[in-house]
Amino acid sequence: MTPGAACDLDLRGVSEALGRREVSSLEATEAYLARVERYDKALQSYITVMGGAARARAKAMDVELASGRRRGPLHGVPIALKDLCAVAGVRMTAGSRLYADHVPGRDACVTERLTAAGAVMLGKLSMFELAFGRPTTEPPFPTGRNPWDVGRDTTGSSSGSGAAVAAGLCAGALGSDTGGSIRNPAARCGIVGLKPTYGLVSRRGAVALCWSLDTLGPMTRDVWGAAAMLQAIAGRDAGDSSTREAPSPVPDYTAALEGGARGTRLGVLRRFYVDWPGLHPEGRAAALAAFDVLGREGAALEDVDAPALDLAMPAWVTYLAEAYEYHREAVRARPGDFRETTRPRLWMGALVSAADHLRARRLVARLLREVLAVLERVDALVFPGMGAPAPRVEDVDPTQVMPPAARYTVPWNLLGLPAIVVPCGFTRDGLPLSIQIVGRPFDEATVLRVARAYERATDWHRRRPDPARWRA
């Protein structure tokens, strides 16, 4: 294969081509860097390109492979990181002027683990300011554009991660998810996005938004790629007290992927999601068709409900208090370094009382009881991935604290449950649609297996946006 062809593969394809020595890590790295150079002016997915370091790393991985050492499926695979994950000696901006010149002296835990797995870091990816702002075209840190239509937003703070993966500017990426910022851009860009169980992946060395909700996770073109990246980054970290004792050792998430959906019980959250009046009609039709596919693959589907879902979004708003607390000193001392769309939302957190937050925590406990009771009867929950396809950038309301899309993502951050979005179709305008699958705590294996069963039965994940449409 030609090195440039690697950019059209999913992560599994790149990994297998490297393993068969059909392409070297350096050749693949050069191909991705050339693609970034050619197209990223329009897509705005990278803040920092680590070209020299990536080439040196790829050469080292080729030497290891030639000597018979292969660290695993990520050996030599070029990936990229959302720019709130630290890489020692490389600027980390979190998309904000506040950190424009910040250079961490130590890798984040996820960076350490991906490096140990043999991955090649291509660079740092664009994002909404502090993972909390809104899309912008303004310097110094414009947010990523949707490769299916560069006039549209990716609708989520991991904007560069979604754009870069969908456009083939890296084989996989890390994003962060506090209210949907992995799943929103993944769904809108037609890729796979996995929010792991809270506490499965260390956040040490990542800029926080909300300690109680933040989760780091993979964004890839394929379910296998998400499983392989999760395998590399999952597990307890003594440097992050939020990481929990998950199954030990961490399961091999790729081992059971091909187990299929037969015999799996899936609960369809119909009232809150499928029948919601705000759901885009093409999204509803695509999701219902996807559920039919899962049924034909042997899954048993039944309608389920958790009435307390209606309380999830107002409860989430009280967690703005944590965002304010993290940035309190900076927003008071340097208000001009925050965008106009970010600063007022942080100040809202100052208005949340302890009583408000405690009431919200009680509501979350009630919701968790309801959902876990449902998950005793079914193996996973399924519903449309998003309420609507990607909006035009000019149509995004910068004053919204809770955009309508939050309905589909926020509850699962509050509950800390694993959730994945998988492409399930396209609108008549050619915009991606998706379904979402949610599982029991630390049961990523089932979530990934069901997602893979659907992916294997369809070809939506094989479609690619047209580079001819990427114009700055």
Give the separation between CA 464 and CA 451, rounded to whole angstroms: 19
pLDDT at 116 over 70: yes
Please provide the DSSP assignment of 10-35 as one string.
-HHHHHHHHHTTSS-HHHHHHHHHHH
Residue 321 DSSP SS3: helix
The answer to whether 157 is a known catalytic residue is yes
Q: What domains can you pick out in the chain, each with its CATH number?
A: 13-469 (3.90.1300.10)
Mean pLDDT over 156-172 rounds to 97
pLDDT-above-90 percentage for the chain? 86
What residues have CB less than 8 Å from 51, skipping those under 6 apart?
A: 33, 123
Name the residue with higher pLDDT: 376 or 393.
376
* Cα(170)–Cα(123) distance, integer angstroms: 9
Residue 458 burial by CB count (10 A; 0-12/13-18/19+): exposed, middle or buried? middle
Q: What is the mean pLDDT of residues 358-366?
A: 94
Q: What pLDDT score does 401 carry?
A: 67
Closest CA to 312 of 438, 161, 447, 208: 438
Q: Are β-strands 265-269 and 300-304 bridged in parallel, bridged antiparallel, or unpaired?
A: parallel
DSSP secondary structure letter of residue 272: I
Strand partners, 80: 173
- From the candidates 24, 25, 45, 82, give the one annotated as an active-site residue: 82
What's the confidence (pLDDT) of residue 155? 84
Q: What is the pLDDT of residue 244?
A: 82
Residue 357, Cβ density class (10 Å: 0-12 exposed, 13-18 middle, ≥19 buried): middle
Copy the structure tokens of residue 129. Answer: 């300011």
Handedness of CA 400, 357, 309, 327 (dihedral sign): positive
d(CA 332, CA 353): 19
pLDDT at 1: 73
Judge whether 388 and 280 are in contact, CB under 8 Å: yes
* Amino acid, single-letter form, for residue 301: L
Express each pLDDT in 207-256 by its tens digit.
Answer: 999 999 999 999 999 999 999 999 999 999 999 999 986 666 788 999 98
pLDDT computed for residue 361 by the predictor? 93
CB atoms within 10 A of CB 40: 23
Rounded to an integer, the average pLDDT of 110-123 is 98
Q: What is the CA radius of gyration of the chain?
A: 20
- 3-class DSSP state of 248: coil
Q: Residues 396-437: pLDDT tens digits?
A: 876 666 777 789 999 999 999 999 999 999 999 999 999 999
Q: What is the pLDDT of residues 173-207, one digit of tens each?
A: 999 999 999 999 999 999 999 999 999 999 999 99
210/208 Cα distance (integer angstroms): 6
| pLDDT at residue 344 is higher than 80 | yes
Task: Report percent pLDDT > 70 for the chain.
Answer: 98
Strand partners for 384: 435
- Catalytic: 181? yes
The catalytically annotated residue of 24, 181, 202, 434 is 181
> Which has more pLDDT, 246 or 71?
71
Separation of first and last alpha carbons in the chain: 30
Options 96, 157, 176, 202, the catalytic residue: 157
Query: How much is the mean pLDDT over the chain?
Result: 95
User: Which stretch of DSSP H or E encloses residue 355?
Assistant: helix 354-377
pLDDT tens digits, one per residue of 273-332: 999 999 999 999 999 999 999 999 999 999 999 999 999 999 998 998 999 999 999 999
Average pLDDT over residues 166-172: 98
434's tokens:
């998706």
Looking at residue 404, what is its pLDDT? 75
Quick one: pLDDT band at residue 393, thresholds 50, 70, 90? Answer: confident
Asked if pLDDT for residue 381 goes beyond 80, the answer is: yes
pTM over 0.85: yes
Q: Is 82 a catalytic residue?
A: yes
Helix 51-66 to helix 25-43 angle, to the nearest 10 degrees?
150
Closest C-alpha among 413, 13, 378 to residue 179: 413
CB 150 within 8 A of CB 471: yes
Please compute the mean of the pLDDT values over residues 345-369 and round it to a whole number.
Answer: 93
DSSP string covering 110-174: HHHHHHHTT-EEEEEE--SGGGTS-----SS-PPPB-TT-TTBB--SS-HHHHHHHHTTSSSEEE
